[in-house]
Amino acid sequence: MNVVMTIKNVVADLTKGEKLDETNYDMWHRKIQNLFNEQEVFENLSHLMIQPDEGNTSQHRRDMEAYQAWAKKDRCACFTMLSSMHNDLIGEFENYPTAQYMWNHLKITYEGTSTTRLRALALRFEQYVMDPKHTMTKHLRSISALIRNLKAPGNNLTDKQQVTPVIQSLPESTWGQMKLALTHSENIMTFADISRHLELEAEHIDVHRNILLVAQAGKRKAFRPKRKQHGRFARLATSLRPRDGKVAKCHRGKRAGKDMSKMNCYNFGKIGHFTRECTKAKKT
């Protein structure tokens, strides 16, 4: 159970990257082989086991346990290989009965240095375009994998043949003027040179973009229009406005506006103030 869960976790990481197609078999083969060796599954690719006949002896039970353990690893190996393929290849290989058959057929189909395969690799490299969702680091990593696949069968690439497709793969909307400068730059001679330069330029572009976003956000906040009042708040504000040049007075309290000369003090017996404002001693 632990082997199955571990393989599923590793496969989940593999499927996030580049999957097997007709041009990247060499790199894919190394990744899967290292995974199988780590999980002790690679032995399933070198030998087969046949399900034992029914029986009740102790030897039969041992043979059945060994077969079940082998079958579980074999299913894990098949699942790993199918999960790391492109969708259009799964239907071609999913019907093989064991991982060994699938592994050998993949080797026969994609391994080798045929003219057709080399042409497909070169065409993909020349027409490769940067994915807008990828960072520059990830984009350069993908191109580096293509170059390794082209070099693996002994196909030598000059520095110019490596640098030119990298520049052409950049999006025109963001790198239009920069692509022309990079093409004629005397400081960019190798793949390492163009990779280092593009990573620095991508970092500068990201910083500039973030500065613009912050400035635009501050400008929108500074010039935000005042909201219009609606409903009873609007009517209240209108009723409190001064009319005809008069200053609106706000009267507070229950006795506001009463004539104090008519107010009688019940403590002192005089008029002109309230009892609570009387300065005489309080009657008992």
Question: What is the token pair recorded at 254?
Answer: 């229950």
Report pLDDT for 223. 61
Rg, Å, the chain Cα set: 41
Residue 152 pLDDT greater than 80, yes or no: no
pLDDT of residue 2: 54
- Does the CA dihedral 223-228-229-234 come out positive or negative? positive
User: Which pair of structure tokens corresponds to residue 111?
Assistant: 């391994």
What is the pTM assigned to this prediction? Answer: 0.46
Backbone angles phi, psi at 264, to 5 degrees: -105, 135
Q: Residue for token digits 């041992």?
A: 62
- Closest alpha carbon to 122 in 168, 155, 89: 155
DSSP 19: P
pLDDT tens column, 171-219:
988 888 888 888 888 889 999 999 999 999 989 888 888 888 888 877 7
Confidence of residue 259 (pLDDT cuts 50, 70, 90): low
Beta-carbon contacts of 169 under 8 Å, excluding residues fewer than 6 positions away, are: 128, 129, 130, 139, 143
Write down the pLDDT at residue 68. 92
Alpha helices in the chain (DSSP H): 2-16, 25-38, 58-83, 87-93, 99-110, 115-126, 136-151, 159-168, 172-183, 191-222, 232-239
